[in-house]
């Protein structure tokens, strides 16, 4: 269904967090993982919590309130971020519809299953395709044609205290320009000397931090208030363990190095050079290889685990043991990474074709209010 011009495009499906983040932040709360189920050979949901436990993660993102999945995580202490599926948006656009959806889809799992957040899909997490420039990070700006849509979103984040989500994939930047980008920089290797921003003077030892700061700078350039108050979180990041012949860098060795380094960075609670006091909150993509995902071979090989539950590769780093679950984040959507977006390119979630629902501000607010009260 075609979208009226006044609606936000598929590039910008705003992720709405419904509950406030806990101020305390620990490694286990800052890092989560996506549990997608686009596969015909995946393990049953009952087997998944134990697999998650082997990673030491305390938070899992699921895309819909599948009853078997919610039951599987009962009494585990793992915090779930549960998405309202796109096909349900029309139904939950009224207070009565939202209340009914919560009553039938969420409440049966409570309180045994720890559901910390619900996400309502109004726009997708953003990718660097929304930027007119991305390098150096301090010069990053949003595309002028998208500002009429992005500025209201930033205003919304300022008013509600919610974060701005990005799908950050150094892999795509490296695969597009392997002769220009050092592999160690894209893999977040701690020994890499780094890249300097010639304008700000800040030094970037890894590309993920540079991608995040590019978005921070673009936000500040578009909305000064948002630049001071809106937090950028990584709704997806990962590295494929296999790919087509033209997908440079897709290998088990590189995937193992990248994801281990993501875990190491998050466990050290370090922010970016621009925002050193703000812990970097990240969701890794993904838990399993999903054999029914469309697109290039890499799309079916982002999993840390094979469908039989065995590791796709061995990680050289493990999160420190921690029994505290806190913090916040969430996202919806995963792209094919083919969007041309420059030196610090981010996964092209915009390429995914999605349905459209006409949402008024009143209907969104009503849905949010009912969902919050229900939890």
CATH number at residue 231: 3.20.20.80
Q: Is 321 a catalytic residue?
A: no
Whole-number Å distance between alpha carbons of 290 and 236: 16
**pLDDT value, residue 365:** 41
Catalytic residue, candidates 290, 306, 339, 351: 290
The first and second tokens of residue 145, run together, are 């044609």
Which of the residues 236, 270, 306, 351 is marked catalytic? 236
Please report whether residue 319 resides in a domain. Answer: no
Name the range with the highest mean pLDDT among 20-29, 49-58, 113-122, 210-219: 210-219
**Which residue among 79, 184, 247, 299 is the active-site one?**
299
Q: Is residue 106 part of a domain?
A: yes
Task: Report which of 186, 215, 148, 200 is spatially closest to residue 8, judged by C-alpha positions.
Answer: 148
Structure tokens at 141: 């700006």
pLDDT value of position 353: 24
Q: Is the pLDDT of residue 323 over 80?
A: no
Q: In the chain, how many domains are there?
A: 1
pLDDT tops 80 at residue 70: yes
293 is catalytic: yes
Domain assignment present for 147: yes
Q: Is residue 313 scored above 90 in pLDDT?
A: yes
Domain membership flag for residue 278: yes
118 within a domain of the structure (yes/no): yes
Return the bridge partners of 22, or none: none
Q: Which stretches of 294-359 are assigned E, i.e. beta strand?
A: none
In a domain, 10, yes or no: no
pLDDT of residue 139 exceeding 70: yes
Contacts of 303 (CB under 8 A, 6+ apart): 241, 286, 287, 288, 289, 290, 312
* pLDDT over threshold 50, residue 354: no
How far is Cα 164 from Cα 125, in angstroms, rounded to an integer?
A: 8
Distance CA 80, CA 52 (A): 12
Active site residue: 184, 231, 293, 339, which one?
293
Range of the domain at 132: 24-305
314 a catalytic residue: no
User: How many percent of the chain have pLDDT more than 90?
Assistant: 48
In a domain, 212, yes or no: yes
Q: For residue 189, indicate whether it is catalytic.
A: no
Is 2 part of any domain? no
For the segment 224-263, what is each residue's pLDDT rounded down to a tens digit?
999 999 999 898 899 999 999 999 999 999 999 999 999 9
DSSP 79: E
């Amino acid at each position: 269904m075609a979208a009226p011009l006044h609606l936000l495009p598929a590039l910008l499906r705003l992720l709405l967090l419904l509950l406030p983040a806990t101020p305390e932040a620990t490694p286990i709360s800052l890092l989560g993982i996506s549990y997608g189920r686009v596969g015909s050979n995946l393990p049953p949901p009952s087997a998944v919590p134990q697999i998650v436990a082997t990673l030491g993660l305390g938070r899992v993102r699921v895309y819909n309130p599948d009853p078997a999945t919610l039951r599987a995580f009962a009494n585990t202490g793992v915090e779930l971020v549960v998405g309202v599926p796109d096909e349900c948006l029309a139904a939950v656009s009224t207070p009565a519809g939202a209340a009914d959806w919560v009553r039938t889809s969420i409440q049966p799992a409570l309180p045994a299953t720890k559901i910390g957040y619900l996400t309502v899909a109004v726009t997708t997490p953003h990718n660097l395709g929304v930027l007119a420039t991305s390098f150096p990070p301090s010069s990053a700006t949003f595309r002028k044609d998208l500002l009429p849509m992005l500025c209201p979103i930033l205003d919304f984040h300022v008013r509600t205290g919610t974060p701005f989500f990005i799908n950050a994939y150094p892999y795509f930047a490296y695969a597009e320009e392997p002769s220009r980008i050092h592999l160690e920089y894209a893999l977040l290797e701690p020994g890499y000397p780094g890249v300097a921003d010639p304008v700000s003077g800040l030094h970037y030892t890894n590309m993920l931090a540079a991608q995040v700061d590019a978005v921070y700078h673009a936000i500040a350039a578009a909305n000064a208030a948002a630049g001071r108050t809106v937090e950028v979180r990584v709704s997806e990041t990962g590295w494929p363990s296999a790919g087509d012949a033209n997908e440079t860098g897709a290998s088990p060795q590189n995937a193992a190095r990248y994801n281990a380094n993501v875990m190491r960075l998050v466990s050290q609670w370090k922010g970016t050079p621009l925002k050193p006091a703000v812990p970097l909150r990240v969701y890794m993509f993904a838990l399993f290889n999903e054999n029914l995902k469309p697109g290039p071979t890499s799309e079916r090989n982002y999993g840390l685990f094979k469908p039989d539950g065995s590791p796709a590769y061995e990680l050289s780093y493990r999160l420190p043991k921690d029994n505290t679950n806190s913090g916040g984040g969430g996202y919806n959507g995963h792209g094919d990474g083919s969007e041309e977006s420059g030196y610090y390119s981010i996964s092209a979630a915009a390429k995914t074709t999605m349905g459209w629902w006409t949402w008024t501000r009143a209907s969104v607010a009503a849905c949010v209010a009912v969902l919050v009260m229900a939890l």
